[in-house]
């Protein structure tokens, strides 16, 4: 994380970085990322789609992989997050890291646990890098060319 971690909390720097995404993100996604947060939200489902098929030979430089996540916001609203043209996807989950500090008891009933914080950054090649940190010490990293947020009715 470039701006936010246990060691640093550069909210103003991250806000300025988000402003550089205005022309890249759809307006509703940009406004959500700038003014809202998924902090304390719960991811219910993550899906990886590999759009491979014999009739779909991709000769371009776009990836055929996409990732989506469905989550419940802290205010009970449900959202779908979608990353397209994914070229890096990493989910580092280990349930044994999600422990009560005092007793070291593993919180099996919390699963991935709640969303702590995230950063959406613009890379030098105009791709996006989304780093998400969950309270279970799980890290999700996705590099893609398109990211958007849909409110689920």
- Domain hosting 45: range is 11-52+62-152
Residue-wise pLDDT tens digits, 102-136:
788 877 777 788 999 999 999 999 999 999 999 99
**Total number of domains in the chain:** 1
The answer to whether residue 2 is domain-embedded is no
The answer to whether residue 4 is domain-embedded is no
pTM over 0.75: yes
Report whether 30 contacts 22 (CB < 8 A): yes
> How far is 129 from 132, CA to CA, in rounded Å?
10
> How far is 150 from 6, CA to CA, in rounded Å?
29
What is the average per-residue pLDDT within 134-150? Answer: 95
The answer to whether residue 116 is domain-embedded is yes
The answer to whether residue 6 is domain-embedded is no
């Amino acid at each position: 994380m470039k701006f936010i971690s246990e060691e640093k909390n550069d909210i103003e720097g991250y806000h300025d970085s988000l402003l550089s995404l205005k022309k890249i993100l759809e307006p509703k996604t940009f406004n959500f990322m700038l003014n809202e947060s998924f902090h304390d939200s719960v991811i219910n489902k993550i899906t990886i789609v590999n759009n491979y098929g014999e009739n779909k030979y991709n000769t371009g430089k776009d990836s055929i992989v996409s990732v989506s996540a469905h989550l419940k916001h802290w205010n009970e609203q449900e959202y779908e997050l979608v990353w397209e043209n994914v070229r890096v996807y990493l989910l580092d989950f280990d349930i044994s890291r999600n422990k009560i500090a005092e007793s070291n008891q593993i919180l099996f009933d919390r699963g991935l646990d709640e969303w702590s914080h995230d950063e959406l950054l613009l890379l030098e090649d105009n791709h996006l890098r989304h780093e998400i940190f969950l309270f279970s010490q799980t890290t999700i990293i996705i590099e893609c060319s398109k990211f958007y947020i849909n409110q689920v009715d």
